[in-house]
Structure 1
Amino acid sequence: MAHTNWTKQELVAYILLYVAHSDLKETQQEHDYILSRVDKETYKHIKTEFESDNDYQSITKIVDAVNTESTYSDHPDALFADIKLMAFADGRMDQMEHAIYNSLKRILS
Protein backbone atom coordinates (compact mmCIF):
# COMPACT_ATOMS: atom_id res chain seq x y z
CA MET A 1 0.00 0.00 0.00
CA ALA A 2 1.27 3.47 -0.84
CA HIS A 3 2.29 5.44 2.20
CA THR A 4 1.28 9.08 2.33
CA ASN A 5 2.52 11.70 4.71
CA TRP A 6 -0.27 14.10 3.93
CA THR A 7 -1.55 16.77 6.22
CA LYS A 8 -5.27 16.77 6.90
CA GLN A 9 -5.65 19.57 4.33
CA GLU A 10 -3.83 17.54 1.68
CA LEU A 11 -6.03 14.52 2.41
CA VAL A 12 -9.18 16.63 2.08
CA ALA A 13 -7.91 18.13 -1.18
CA TYR A 14 -7.07 14.71 -2.65
CA ILE A 15 -10.40 13.14 -1.70
CA LEU A 16 -12.37 16.11 -3.01
CA LEU A 17 -10.43 16.01 -6.28
CA TYR A 18 -11.12 12.30 -6.54
CA VAL A 19 -14.86 12.86 -6.12
CA ALA A 20 -14.86 15.87 -8.44
CA HIS A 21 -13.17 13.85 -11.18
CA SER A 22 -15.41 10.81 -10.80
CA ASP A 23 -17.37 12.03 -13.81
CA LEU A 24 -14.10 12.85 -15.62
CA LYS A 25 -14.42 16.62 -15.25
CA GLU A 26 -14.03 19.21 -12.53
CA THR A 27 -16.66 21.93 -12.80
CA GLN A 28 -16.05 25.50 -11.72
CA GLN A 29 -18.40 24.97 -8.77
CA GLU A 30 -16.45 21.88 -7.70
CA HIS A 31 -13.17 23.77 -8.09
CA ASP A 32 -14.54 26.63 -5.98
CA TYR A 33 -15.77 24.21 -3.31
CA ILE A 34 -12.35 22.57 -3.03
CA LEU A 35 -10.72 26.00 -2.68
CA SER A 36 -13.21 26.85 0.07
CA ARG A 37 -11.88 23.85 2.03
CA VAL A 38 -8.13 24.07 1.31
CA ASP A 39 -5.65 26.80 0.45
CA LYS A 40 -4.52 27.39 -3.13
CA GLU A 41 -0.98 26.04 -2.62
CA THR A 42 -2.26 22.79 -1.15
CA TYR A 43 -4.71 22.48 -4.04
CA LYS A 44 -1.99 23.00 -6.68
CA HIS A 45 0.42 20.55 -5.03
CA ILE A 46 -2.18 17.83 -4.54
CA LYS A 47 -3.74 18.32 -7.98
CA THR A 48 -0.33 17.66 -9.56
CA GLU A 49 -0.01 14.45 -7.54
CA PHE A 50 -3.62 13.44 -8.24
CA GLU A 51 -3.19 13.88 -12.01
CA SER A 52 -0.22 11.52 -12.05
CA ASP A 53 -2.09 8.74 -10.19
CA ASN A 54 -4.37 6.09 -11.65
CA ASP A 55 -7.60 4.96 -9.91
CA TYR A 56 -5.92 2.14 -8.02
CA GLN A 57 -3.19 4.45 -6.73
CA SER A 58 -5.80 7.04 -5.73
CA ILE A 59 -7.92 4.61 -3.73
CA THR A 60 -4.84 3.09 -2.11
CA LYS A 61 -3.56 6.51 -1.07
CA ILE A 62 -6.96 7.57 0.25
CA VAL A 63 -7.41 4.42 2.34
CA ASP A 64 -3.87 4.68 3.72
CA ALA A 65 -4.22 8.36 4.56
CA VAL A 66 -7.67 8.02 6.16
CA ASN A 67 -6.41 5.14 8.30
CA THR A 68 -3.52 7.26 9.57
CA GLU A 69 -5.56 10.47 10.07
CA SER A 70 -7.17 9.99 13.48
CA THR A 71 -9.76 12.72 12.87
CA TYR A 72 -11.27 10.73 10.03
CA SER A 73 -10.53 7.19 11.16
CA ASP A 74 -12.23 7.90 14.51
CA HIS A 75 -15.04 10.09 13.10
CA PRO A 76 -15.67 9.25 9.44
CA ASP A 77 -18.97 11.19 9.38
CA ALA A 78 -17.07 14.47 8.95
CA LEU A 79 -15.27 13.04 5.94
CA PHE A 80 -18.47 11.75 4.34
CA ALA A 81 -20.18 15.10 4.89
CA ASP A 82 -17.34 16.76 2.94
CA ILE A 83 -17.58 14.14 0.19
CA LYS A 84 -21.34 14.61 -0.10
CA LEU A 85 -21.00 18.41 -0.24
CA MET A 86 -18.39 18.01 -2.96
CA ALA A 87 -20.68 15.77 -4.98
CA PHE A 88 -23.46 18.38 -4.75
CA ALA A 89 -21.15 21.37 -5.41
CA ASP A 90 -22.42 21.73 -8.96
CA GLY A 91 -26.06 21.41 -7.87
CA ARG A 92 -26.55 17.68 -8.25
CA MET A 93 -24.97 14.33 -7.51
CA ASP A 94 -24.70 12.44 -10.79
CA GLN A 95 -24.57 8.64 -11.03
CA MET A 96 -20.77 8.41 -11.05
CA GLU A 97 -20.44 10.72 -8.04
CA HIS A 98 -23.07 8.69 -6.21
CA ALA A 99 -21.24 5.46 -7.03
CA ILE A 100 -17.92 6.93 -5.82
CA TYR A 101 -19.57 8.20 -2.63
CA ASN A 102 -21.02 4.76 -1.91
CA SER A 103 -17.75 3.01 -2.75
CA LEU A 104 -15.72 5.30 -0.49
CA LYS A 105 -18.23 4.87 2.31
CA ARG A 106 -18.02 1.08 2.00
CA ILE A 107 -14.21 1.04 1.77
CA LEU A 108 -13.53 3.56 4.53
CA SER A 109 -16.16 2.51 7.07
Structure 2
Amino acid sequence: MAITNWTKQELVAYILLFVAHSDLKESKKEHEYILSRVDEATYKHIKTEFDADNDYQSITKIVEAVNTNTAYRNNPEALFADIKLMAFADGHMDQIEHMIYNILKKILS
Protein backbone atom coordinates (compact mmCIF):
# COMPACT_ATOMS: atom_id res chain seq x y z
CA MET A 1 0.00 0.00 0.00
CA ALA A 2 1.25 3.45 -0.89
CA ILE A 3 2.17 5.81 1.90
CA THR A 4 -0.30 8.65 2.22
CA ASN A 5 1.30 12.06 2.11
CA TRP A 6 -2.00 13.87 2.13
CA THR A 7 -2.47 17.51 2.88
CA LYS A 8 -4.91 18.33 5.68
CA GLN A 9 -7.54 19.08 3.00
CA GLU A 10 -7.04 15.67 1.38
CA LEU A 11 -7.24 13.92 4.75
CA VAL A 12 -10.46 15.77 5.61
CA ALA A 13 -11.93 14.89 2.21
CA TYR A 14 -11.06 11.21 2.57
CA ILE A 15 -12.43 10.91 6.12
CA LEU A 16 -15.62 12.74 5.21
CA LEU A 17 -16.10 10.49 2.18
CA PHE A 18 -15.56 7.45 4.37
CA VAL A 19 -18.24 8.62 6.82
CA ALA A 20 -20.62 9.71 4.06
CA HIS A 21 -20.35 6.31 2.37
CA SER A 22 -20.74 4.31 5.58
CA ASP A 23 -24.40 3.81 4.67
CA LEU A 24 -23.38 3.05 1.04
CA LYS A 25 -24.60 6.35 -0.36
CA GLU A 26 -23.53 9.96 -0.38
CA SER A 27 -26.55 12.22 -0.06
CA LYS A 28 -26.72 15.60 -1.74
CA LYS A 29 -26.40 17.32 1.66
CA GLU A 30 -23.38 15.18 2.55
CA HIS A 31 -21.80 16.02 -0.81
CA GLU A 32 -22.47 19.72 -0.22
CA TYR A 33 -20.97 19.50 3.28
CA ILE A 34 -17.79 17.90 1.94
CA LEU A 35 -17.50 20.65 -0.69
CA SER A 36 -17.95 23.26 2.06
CA ARG A 37 -14.83 21.83 3.74
CA VAL A 38 -12.60 21.12 0.71
CA ASP A 39 -12.25 22.51 -2.79
CA GLU A 40 -13.69 20.69 -5.80
CA ALA A 41 -10.30 19.64 -7.22
CA THR A 42 -9.30 18.03 -3.92
CA TYR A 43 -12.69 16.33 -3.69
CA LYS A 44 -12.43 14.84 -7.19
CA HIS A 45 -8.83 13.67 -6.67
CA ILE A 46 -9.58 12.04 -3.31
CA LYS A 47 -12.93 10.61 -4.48
CA THR A 48 -11.09 8.72 -7.24
CA GLU A 49 -8.67 7.29 -4.68
CA PHE A 50 -11.47 6.52 -2.21
CA ASP A 51 -13.53 4.69 -4.83
CA ALA A 52 -10.56 2.42 -5.62
CA ASP A 53 -10.02 1.45 -1.95
CA ASN A 54 -11.77 -1.22 0.08
CA ASP A 55 -12.78 -0.67 3.73
CA TYR A 56 -9.56 -2.13 5.12
CA GLN A 57 -7.44 0.10 2.88
CA SER A 58 -9.54 3.12 3.85
CA ILE A 59 -9.17 2.54 7.59
CA THR A 60 -5.45 1.87 7.21
CA LYS A 61 -4.94 5.05 5.20
CA ILE A 62 -6.95 7.14 7.67
CA VAL A 63 -5.02 5.84 10.68
CA GLU A 64 -1.67 6.35 8.95
CA ALA A 65 -2.57 9.84 7.76
CA VAL A 66 -3.93 10.98 11.14
CA ASN A 67 -0.82 9.64 12.87
CA THR A 68 1.43 11.63 10.52
CA ASN A 69 -0.67 14.81 10.38
CA THR A 70 0.24 16.97 13.36
CA ALA A 71 -2.86 19.15 12.98
CA TYR A 72 -5.08 16.24 13.95
CA ARG A 73 -2.64 14.17 15.98
CA ASN A 74 -2.21 17.09 18.38
CA ASN A 75 -5.90 18.10 18.26
CA PRO A 76 -8.12 15.02 17.78
CA GLU A 77 -11.18 16.94 18.96
CA ALA A 78 -11.17 18.92 15.70
CA LEU A 79 -11.12 15.69 13.72
CA PHE A 80 -14.05 14.21 15.63
CA ALA A 81 -16.00 17.46 15.29
CA ASP A 82 -15.58 17.22 11.50
CA ILE A 83 -16.65 13.58 11.53
CA LYS A 84 -19.73 14.31 13.65
CA LEU A 85 -20.75 17.26 11.46
CA MET A 86 -20.45 15.02 8.40
CA ALA A 87 -22.63 12.37 9.99
CA PHE A 88 -25.31 14.98 10.72
CA ALA A 89 -25.01 16.70 7.31
CA ASP A 90 -28.21 15.10 6.06
CA GLY A 91 -30.10 16.02 9.23
CA HIS A 92 -29.54 12.89 11.31
CA MET A 93 -26.89 10.39 12.30
CA ASP A 94 -28.13 6.93 11.38
CA GLN A 95 -26.97 3.78 13.19
CA ILE A 96 -24.25 2.94 10.69
CA GLU A 97 -22.83 6.46 10.76
CA HIS A 98 -22.91 6.39 14.56
CA MET A 99 -21.08 3.07 14.55
CA ILE A 100 -18.42 4.40 12.12
CA TYR A 101 -18.00 7.51 14.30
CA ASN A 102 -17.44 5.35 17.38
CA ILE A 103 -15.06 3.01 15.56
CA LEU A 104 -12.98 5.90 14.22
CA LYS A 105 -12.92 7.53 17.64
CA LYS A 106 -11.71 4.29 19.22
CA ILE A 107 -9.09 3.60 16.54
CA LEU A 108 -7.76 7.16 16.35
CA SER A 109 -7.73 8.01 20.06
- The reply on whether 1:96 has 2:99 as its aligned counterpart is no
The equivalent residue for 1:45 is 45
* Percentage of matched positions with identical amino acids: 79
Matched positions, count = 109
The equivalent residue for 1:78 is 78
- The reply on whether 1:61 has 2:61 as its aligned counterpart is yes
Aligned-residue CA RMSD in angstroms? 0.8
Structure 1 unpaired stretches of 5+:
none
CA contact 1:72–1:78 (8 Å) conserved in 2 = yes
- For residue 72 of structure 1, report the CA deviation from its aligned partner: 0.4
Structure 2 unpaired stretches of 5+:
none
Compute the TM-score of the two structures, normalised by the length of structure 2. Answer: 0.98
Compute the TM-score of the two structures, normalised by the length of structure 1. Answer: 0.98
Structure 1 ranges of 4+ moved more than 3 A: none
CA contact 1:20–1:86 (8 Å) conserved in 2 = yes
